[in-house]
Structure formats: C-alpha cells, structure tokens
Chain A
Amino acid sequence: MTQYVLRRVALFVLGLVLTSALVFALLRVLPGDAAQVMGGVKATPERLDQIRAAYGLDRSLPAQYGSWLAGLLHGDLGQSLITGVPIKDEITQKFALTLPLAGLSLLFSLLIGVPLGIASAVYYDTKLGGFASAVAQGLAAIPIVWAGLLLIILLGKGAGLLELLPSQGFPRTGWSEPGRAFASLILPALAVGIVEGAVILRFVRSALLEARGQDHVRTAAALGLTRRQALIRRGLPGAGPAILSVVALQAASLIVGVVVVEALFALPGMGSMLVTDVGNRDLIKVQSTVLVLVGLVLLIGLLVDIASRLIDPRQRRAGE
C-alpha cells in the first residue's frame, strides 16, 4: 500500500511537471513573441523591451521555464502583468469563493446522481426507473449555460418566476456574512450539479446494473436477502470504486462548469479571474492559474485513487 501511494504521488508530481511544460509551450513558445502578445499590436518597441526585461522574456525559453519552475517550488507563482500583484495572493483570495463553489457543486451532483442512480437501477424494469434514466439522458445533454439561465428564470431574484435566490454577484462583504455569501452560490452550484449529477446518475446506474449480474449478489439473495436488498447492500459496495473513479473523471468537467457559472453569475472567483486574464493577455498569470486548476484536478484524481484502494480489500492487501 505504501509503495502504491509513493508511486501514485510520483505520478502526480510528474503530471504537474508535464502540465507546466504543456502550458508553457502553448502560451510562450507557440505564439512567437510573448511580449508582443502581452503588449498588444500597438505597443511601441520601447514598451516591448520594458515588458521583456520586466518578465525575463529576454532570456532563453528553457531559462524562462526553469525560473518559473524554480519559483513554483518556492510557492512563488509570479506577478500579474496588469496589476503587479503577486499571483499567489490573488489566487488564494479567489479560492475563498471558488473552492466552496466547487465543493457545493460536487455535493449537489452527488446528491442528485447517487440516490437517483441507485433508484433507477433498482427499479430499472418499472416505469419510474425508465423515467429516471430518460431524465438523466436529457439533463446530461444540456449546456451548463442554459441550465444556469433557466434556473435564473425559474428561481432567480429580479428575473425569476419565484424570486427565491440571488442570481448575480457575490456580496462585497464576502464570508463575513455567511448566509448571503452561501445563498449567492446556490443557483450556480445547482446549475453545475444538475448537469454533472445527470452524468454521475448514468454511471451509477450502469455500474449497479452490472452488479445485478454478479454471482455473489445472487448468493446474498440466496442467503435470505430480497433481490433489492442484495443489490443495494452487496452490489453497491462493489461498485464503489467504479463510482469513485467516475467522480474523479468528473473533476475536470466540474472545474470547467465552475469557470462557466462564475462568469454566468458574475461571481468574482478564479474562473472569472481567468476569463479576464485571458482577455488581458496576461500570459504569466494565465499560465500559473491554469497550472493550479489542472493541479487541483490531478490532486482529486490522486486522492480518489488512494481512497478506492483503501475501500477495496483485494487491492488494499494485494501485497499479502
């Protein structure tokens, strides 16, 4: 187990390095003159030299990449071209919104996906099960922007039919007013949660339908459980690792969903910041922010892989 964790962590680190190289290559090597990109077409040669000197763009590409990596090792993500603020400080500050939003989105998607997925597999041969799976198919096909807009129309303050929840912005006071701050995250998290939940629902359903055919689930029924109990009590734990790994795979699209709803609901989180930075061609900031976000996805993958090892005795004790 320890050996596995070490190997998995090494893979995670390798993933970070590879991601940083990819992002660096796409942002700094491909476009040719990064200073030109940052300064814009109208920048004077003097301004370009200024930019180059300020961001070390006059050095060779490997040297630039090296110093970026060296900075990362010390927790230094660089400075914004536009504001001059250390990127790390800004990201830390934005995390206060983005992490709760991502967590709430994940929570909603699990609350929607797992119980309904179980129900639709257990009642698969009834009208209810068919209906649940049809709804899931439909919801999984919806663009998150649309889900968000429809939620605003239905429930949003100002525009909504029911005017229940705030649909734009985040209180200036932040988390010092937890109620208001939390309320402003509900609709965006729901928009992500519904669409992601539909995807999870389909995976849980198919994992459980597969478990239905397993011999040991039949054995459990032969020992005195009802068919349904056997499926839920014995089939579900076996499907656990599969479901967990789906959640990990969904981490990437969850982050994407969060970026979209932050823009849609005017929430000043990392997604909105990234959108602004891309618009401002703040390459260094984009580079560091993307690395942090992908790192987050990789980290979730790492944790889920280790967790599914822990819950599966076949793998936990593989060494014996």
Chain B
Amino acid sequence: MSLEVNDLTIAFGDQVVVDHIGFEVPDGARVGIIGQSGSGKSLTTLAVLGLTPRSARVTGSIRWNGRELVGLADKVLAGIRGRTIGTVFQDPMTALDPVRTIGKQVTDALRNHYDLSKAELRERAIRALDQVKLEDPESFLGRYPHQLSGGQRQRIAIAQALIAGPRLILADEPTTALDVTVQAGVLQVFNELVTGLGSSLLFVTHDISLLPLVAEQALVMEAGRIVERGPVHQLIDRPQDPVTVGLIEAALATAWVDGPGEGERAPSGTGAEVRV
C-alpha cells in the first residue's frame, strides 16, 4: 500500500500555499518532511486526510493504495481516516477531547470502523495504552486529559492513532510540544510501534535532528515547494540547498542551547536501528 502524491497544489484564494509538489511513500517506507512553519508541510498531511480548511482549494492527485483521494466524498474519506491512515497531531494539550475519558477516546478509531463488544474495546484500550508504555494502563481508562502530563497525553494520542493498525501513519510534529527530556521516550515508543506494525510513515517536523531517528528518506519544503530531497544522511552530511543548510544550523543552535537534551535523545536509537 503506497501513497503517491502528484502535482499537489493547495491555495487560499490567490494565495498558493502548496505549489505543485510530488512525492511517494512506498509500502513500509519512512519519509520525513522538514521545513519551517508556514512551508506547507502540515497542510500537505491534512490534504491526504481530506481535512484541509473548507476555504482551501486542493488540486492535483493523492493516490492511496491506487485510489484517488483528492475530490473524494468526505463520507468515503472518513472510512479511510483512522482505519488505514492514522494520524498523530502536534499539540497533546489540545488534540485530545477535554470532556471524554481516555478509555473512550483511545478506542474511537475502532468504534468508528469496527463493531466490537464493550469487553473487546476495553481489552484493546488496555493493550494499546500498555504498548505506549503507560504504567498501570487500566487506571487511565476513566481519566480525563487535563489530569495527565504532556508526555502521557502524547502517548495516548499515539495509541489512539495506531489502535486500528493503520498501514500509513501521518505524524505532524508529534514531539515538538514536549519537553526535550520527555521527547526521547515518546519518540522511542512511537518508533517501536511503527516498526511493529510495519506501516509506512510520513513524519513532518521542523527539527532536522529528529530525522535520522525516524526516517530514511526526506523532503525539504520551503514556501510550498520541495527544494531538496534524498536519503536523510545525505541531506544532513551534504546539504545542497541553502534552506536545508539553514535547518541544520537551526537544529545545531537548539542543541547547543539545550545541551544535555541531545544526549538524552541518543539512547532512542541510531539511524541504522530505525531503518530495519
């Protein structure tokens, strides 16, 4: 099951935000999109889901498993979202529903797409929470997001997105809103789960230092265009485009400021390990 994007353009009125881009995520591959905020990378993932704002005009082609998604009815897209394509969003403080229990929302994708009994749902919820390494998973079922830490919430967001075993996972800056010290653990859990599922991954970030941990191929986006693409190690070792150079410098500056943060990240694995 592969994702093929061709000539994708997203515009608000005359303002073109994503400009004729094309790329492919082959079955089981892990692709990163890096770029600064406003480069169009997040809108690209929303376009795959069919969740761009109503005022956005999306043209071009997005084929998932051979099927054209652009222009597909929302009802049909909803049948894909959460089932074969799972999504982890950026901000765990706001991405979870404040008024529903964790037990309910973590199984949303299952309840939307499959007909499972209450007992089965409960059992799947506990297993999913256990897989994202939450201790005493059962105790989370009746709790609400505001009672949890940022790291716990993001683990739940991951469990929620992956519970139905999607073949493609979209991750939009899933660790950006977290503390550096928490980031490492969450990223590790995420990596293990994606590896376990054998799914494809499209990982969106502005932090190029995360790329070796999660992806083998990457695209660099700037102002709605793809300015450079290639294997991650090549992008980092021999950047061609000034934008890529800028992103590397930005990551180095952050690492310098964060100091120990870089060290904390190391145990989560080398690029080679991830590439399995």
State the A residues within 8 Å of B (CB).
125, 214-216, 218-229, 234, 237-238, 311-314, 317, 320
Contact = CB atoms under 8 A, between A and B. Distances in A.
A219 B147 contact: no
A234 B97 contact: yes
Contacts of A313: 98-99, 144, 146
Nearest to B73: A226
B112 A216 contact: no
Contacts of A320: 147
B15 to A, nearest CB: 18
A215 B54 CA distance: 15
B89 interface: yes
B147 A221 contact: no
A223 B147 contact: no
Contacts of A237: 99-100
B75 interface: yes
Given A219-B87, A223-B161, 10 more contacts: A220-B97, A222-B81, A223-B81, A223-B82, A223-B108, A225-B112, A226-B74, A227-B74, A238-B98, A314-B146
Given A312-B99, A313-B98, A224 B108 contact: yes
Interface of B: 49, 51, 54, 74-75, 77-79, 81-83, 86-87, 89, 91, 94-100, 108-109, 112-113, 144, 146-147, 157, 160-161
Given A224-B83, A224-B109, A226-B74, A216 B96 contact: yes
A238 B95 CA distance: 13
Contact of A223 (B98, B109, B146): B109
Which 6 A-B pairs have CB atoms at the shortest separation, nearest pair first? A224-B112, A224-B82, A223-B82, A215-B94, A222-B87, A226-B78
B113 A224 contact: yes
Nearest to A218: B51
B51 A220 contact: no
Contacts of A125: 54
A234 B145 CA distance: 15
A219 B89 contact: yes
Given A216-B98, A234-B97, A223 B51 contact: no
Contacts of B91: 215
Contacts of B144: 313-314, 317
B218 to A, nearest CB: 23
Contact of B78 (A229, A311, A312): A229
A306 to B, nearest CB: 17
9 contacts: A215-B95, A216-B96, A220-B97, A222-B49, A222-B87, A223-B109, A228-B74, A314-B144, A317-B144
Contacts of B75: 226
Given A238-B99, A317-B144, A223 B160 contact: yes
Contacts of B112: 223-225
A218 B96 CA distance: 10
Contacts of B95: 215-216, 218-219
Nearest to B97: A216
Nearest to A215: B94
A272 to B, nearest CB: 43
A293 B28 CA distance: 69
A314 B99 contact: yes
Contacts of B81: 221-225
Contacts of B89: 215, 218-219, 222
A223 B106 CA distance: 10
Contacts of B109: 223-224
